[in-house]
């Protein structure tokens, strides 16, 4: 088994193959074809030295089966992996193949995993989402409009009492979901158990007051056993959702949480903090599209996928990723994409024009930074989304909703940085 054995441009992937598209720039002195063969080799069962195994292990070898096209970031290379190479239902094992050693090997200057086509035999070995976009009606009263979420700001530092007070104002103003921020877990200034207990007590009061279902995306991110314990605590206090920082806590931790939340009927909100360490450089790493695919297989119900170029964060093809999350994946539920990062009422219409209404809209600063405070900020965002759903312009709706008028005057259509 030599590198050349891992390249066959005449090979047609079978229905059971996992087909991965990479884009690479070969290392100095190496041709694209040689680099492609090395990618297939190192990510399956080859190495730098020629091997003469006693038994035939070629059935577990990947094949680079297509090369090109080329763009400014490198040349596309398609690699087909036989499904027998993979353990059922294990994201860590799959990623140790398709995004493992190859990311750092000298044979490539840069390499990016762009896209995967998942065969049924692999996709069905994962649970997929429990609810997907059905949370809009199964767990919330959002109907056809985007569910609205908000993170109290400042994102860390508020006491539990302050956090709950902000939550009450936001729910009263019209948001559906309170959300912890990615770096709020169990700090001394706002301990997890107290926050959860007090927030759900307030949630019950606000449901009574508003007549709408309200809930809380509780960040349970921690080491794995602790995440499971925190999920159980959320369930004990009447929550329907947990939030997990899926990249920083890792795929195996997420898979364990998914197994436990099945028993507890909890939906999983996936925050993608740290994704940009993998996907920000267009020539290297793992695309957000692929990260979203792994998350759907693992079984998250929502995932942050960006804001289509609006807002404060760099985004990669939000609309295309969202479309994939809604497409058929061998019978798995869809995933509700979450648009978040620098959103405010004045750009809601542009956002929903770009992404459609089957998304969750999340705003922190765009609610709590409202000149008249959180409740007015929530009212303004809700009015903007309701206006869009009713086909009415923001300016027209603002005539009857002063809080929206104030938000539009304050922020206009700016994209914050
Ligand atoms: C998030 O969790 O996505 C951010 O906290 C969003 O905050 P922002 O709306 O203030 O940008």
The reported pLDDT for the residue numbered 46 is: 85
HSE at residue 417, side-chain half, CA atoms within 13 A, is: 0
Give the model's pLDDT for residue 168: 97
- The closest of 354, 338, 350, 265 to 295, measured between CA atoms, is 338
Instruction: Report pLDDT for 263.
Output: 95
Tell me which residue has its CA closest to atom 4 in ligand 1. Answer: 341
Separation of 366 CA from ligand 1 center, angstroms?
A: 9
Cα atoms found within 13 Å of the Cα of residue 347, Cβ hemisphere only:
25
Burial status of residue 224 (CB atoms within 10 A of its CB: 0-12, 13-18, 19 or more): middle
Q: What residues are designated binding site for substrate?
A: 155, 272, 304, 340-342, 362-365
DSSP state for residue 280 in the 8-state scheme: S
Which secondary structure element, helix H or strand E, spans residue 409, and what is its range? helix 402-411
Q: CA separation (Å) from 87 to 94, 97, 263, 346?
A: 7, 11, 24, 48
Ligand 1 pocket (Cβ < 6 Å) reads: 151, 153, 155, 181-182, 312, 340-343, 362-366
Q: Where are the domains of the chain?
A: 3-123, 132-411
pTM of the predicted protein model: 0.95
pLDDT value for 58: 87
Let me know if 271 is a catalytic residue: yes
Fold match, 3-123 / 132-411: no
The CATH homologous superfamily for domain 3-123 is RuBisCO large subunit, N-terminal domain (3.30.70.150)
Q: What share of the chain is helix, strand, coil (3-state, %, to 5)?
A: 45, 20, 40
For residue 75, count other CB atoms closer than 10 A to its CB: 18
Contact, 351 vs 339, CB < 8 A? yes
Q: What is the pLDDT of residue 214?
A: 97
Going residue by residue through the chain, which has 417 residues, state the pLDDT in tens, using 9 for 90 and above: 788 889 999 999 999 999 999 999 999 999 999 999 999 999 999 888 888 777 788 889 999 999 999 999 999 999 999 999 999 999 999 999 999 999 999 999 999 999 999 999 999 999 999 999 888 888 888 888 999 999 998 889 999 999 999 999 999 999 999 999 999 999 999 999 999 999 999 999 999 999 999 999 999 999 999 999 999 999 999 999 999 999 999 999 999 999 999 999 999 999 999 999 999 999 999 999 999 999 999 999 999 999 998 888 877 899 999 999 999 999 999 999 999 999 999 999 999 999 999 999 999 999 999 999 999 999 999 999 999 999 999 999 999 999 999 999 999 999 888
Ligand 1 atom closest to 365 (CA):
10
Pick the CATH number of 132-411 from 3.40.50.150, 3.20.20.110, 3.40.50.10420, 3.90.1150.10: 3.20.20.110
Residue 134: its pLDDT value, please? 87
Candidates 214, 237, 271, 284; catalytic one: 271
CA separation for the pair 23, 110 (Å, rounded):
8
For a mutational test of ligand 1's pocket, the pick from 180, 181, 377, i.e. the residue with the most ligand atoms closer than 8 A to its C-beta, is: 181
């Amino acid at each position: 088994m030599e590198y050349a054995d891992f390249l066959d441009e005449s090979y047609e992937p079978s229905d059971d193959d996992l087909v991965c598209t990479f884009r690479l720039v070969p290392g100095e002195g190496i041709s694209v074809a040689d680099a492609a063969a090395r990618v297939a080799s190192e990510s399956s069962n080859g190495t730098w030295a020629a091997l003469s195994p006693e038994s035939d292990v070629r059935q577990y070898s990947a094949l680079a089966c297509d090369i090109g096209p080329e763009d400014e970031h490198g040349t596309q290379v398609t690699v087909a992996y036989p499904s027998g190479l993979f353990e059922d239902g294990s994201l860590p094992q799959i990623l140790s193949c398709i995004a493992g050693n190859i990311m750092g090997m000298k044979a490539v200057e840069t390499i990016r995993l762009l896209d995967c086509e998942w065969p049924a035999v692999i996709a069905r070995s994962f649970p997929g989402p429990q609810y997907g976009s059905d949370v809009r009606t199964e767990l919330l009263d959002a109907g056809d409009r985007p569910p609205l979420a908000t993170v109290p700001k400042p994102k860390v530092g508020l006491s539990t009492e302050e956090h709950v007070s902000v939550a009450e104002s936001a729910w009263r103003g019209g948001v559906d979901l309170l959300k912890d921020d990615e770096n709020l877990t169990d700090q001394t200034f706002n301990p997890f158990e107290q926050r959860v207990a007090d927030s759900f007590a307030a949630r019950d009061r606000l449901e009574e007051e508003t007549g709408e279902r309200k809930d809380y995306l509780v960040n349970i991110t921690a080491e794995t056993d602790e995440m499971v314990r925190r999920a159980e605590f959320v369930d004990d206090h009447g929550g329907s959702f947990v939030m997990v920082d899926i990249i920083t806590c890792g795929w195996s931790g997420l898979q364990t949480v998914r197994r436990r939340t099945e028993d507890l009927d909890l939906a999983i909100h996936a925050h993608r903090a740290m994704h940009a360490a993998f996907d920000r450089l267009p020539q290297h790493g793992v695309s957000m599209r692929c990260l979203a695919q792994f998350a759907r297989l693992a079984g998250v119900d929502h995932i942050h996928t960006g804001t289509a170029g609006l807002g404060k964060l760099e985004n990669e093809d939000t609309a295309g990723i969202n479309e994939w999350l809604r497409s058929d994946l061998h019978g798995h539920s869809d995933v509700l994409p979450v648009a978040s990062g620098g959103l405010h009422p004045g750009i809601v219409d542009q956002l929903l024009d770009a992404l459609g209404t089957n998304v969750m809209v999340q705003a922190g600063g765009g609610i709590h930074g409202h000149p008249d405070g959180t409740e007015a900020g929530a009212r303004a965002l809700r009015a903007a989304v309701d206006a869009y759903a009713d086909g009415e312009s923001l300016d027209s709706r603002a005539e009857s909703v002063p809080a929206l008028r104030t938000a539009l005057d304050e922020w206009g259509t700016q994209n914050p940085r």
